[in-house]
Amino acid sequence: MEFLNKKQKIIFIIIVIFVLLFIGYYIIAKANNSEYIELETEENSIIEENKISEEDEIVEKRNIIVHIIGAVNKEGIVQIEEGSRISDVIEKAGGATKKADLSKINLAYIVQDGQKIYVPNIDDKEEVTTVTEDAGNNIIKNEENTEKKININTATQTELETLSGIGPSTALKIINYRIENGNFKKIEDLKNVPGIGDAKFENIRKNICVK
């Protein structure tokens, strides 16, 4: 560099410094970018795992439908998470009444979709024993073995016509009687409907109920 004068030497040194700074900046930037990509990949992996976990949780929380009757405050259909127990269903039904005999039920029993649950009353005459693994004798009602009764206070004309000896005309009279006089207090009140005598009533009494 003897052929360079002092001024040119200074300029050359400055250029070398800038080149070195640029190279250093490029190396650092590339390293940071690599770390960022690695971090972003890790974050995406965590997000993906969380999504899978949430999807699994949604699957686990599938709702089922059960029917509960007896000594509870709100009889009827209950929608509840799969894997719930009889105690959860009773709570969903407004809780047990003061006359409920919960000692005859395995409250920890896991219910299944479509089941009908009966909560016994302390006044029930039928003997029901306490069990551990099962729900309890006669607690889970098997609808296939139970003859379905028609609630004459809520039945439609089509449902009423399924009763023996009740045609379209008589079914309509039952509905009109309900509208004019209110719900039937007992099934025997059905005999107040024109066209339903003792013989016809006795023929269907086992198939009807009032609720």
The string of pLDDT tens digits covering residues 84-94 is 999 999 999 99
Q: Where among 90, 115, 145 does a domain terminate?
A: 145
Residue 187 is predicted with a pLDDT of: 92
pTM across the whole model: 0.39
Residue 200 pLDDT > 60: yes
Whether residues 129 and 75 share a domain: the answer is yes
pLDDT of residue 130: 38
Q: How many CB atoms lie within 10 A of CB 136?
A: 24
Q: Which amino acid is at 128?
A: V
**DSSP string of 28-58, one letter each residue:** HHHHHHHHHHHHHHHHHHHHHHHHHHHHHHH
- Structural domains of the chain, count: 3
**Mean pLDDT over residues 55-80, rounded?**
78
**Domain shared by 1 and 70, yes or no:** no
In this structure, are 197 and 134 located in the same domain? no
Same structural domain, 132 and 160: no
Same domain, 76 and 48: no
Residue 118's beta-bridge partner residues?
69
> Residue 104 is part of a domain; what is its CATH number?
3.10.20
Domain span at residue 191?
A: 150-209
Q: 60, 81, 107 — which closes off a domain?
A: 60
Among residues 124, 145, 166, the one where a domain terminates is: 145
**139 and 154 share a domain?**
no
Do 175 and 132 belong to one domain? Answer: no
Q: What is d(CA 47, CA 189) in angstroms, rounded to the nearest whole number?
A: 65
Q: Is residue 131 located within the same domain as residue 171?
A: no
Q: Are residues 70 and 141 in the same domain?
A: yes
Distance, in Å, from the CA atom of 133 to the CA atom of 111, rounded to the nearest integer, reads: 12
CB atoms within 10 A of CB 210: 16
Q: What is the pLDDT of residue 115?
A: 83
Residue type, 6: K
Structure letter (DSSP) for residue 147: P
Same domain, residue pair 115 and 179: no
pLDDT the model gives residue 55? 55
Confidence tier at 41 by pLDDT (50, 70, 90):
low
- Kindly report, residue by residue over 124-180, the tens digit of the pLDDT: 765 544 334 455 555 665 544 445 788 999 889 888 988 988 989 999 999 999 999
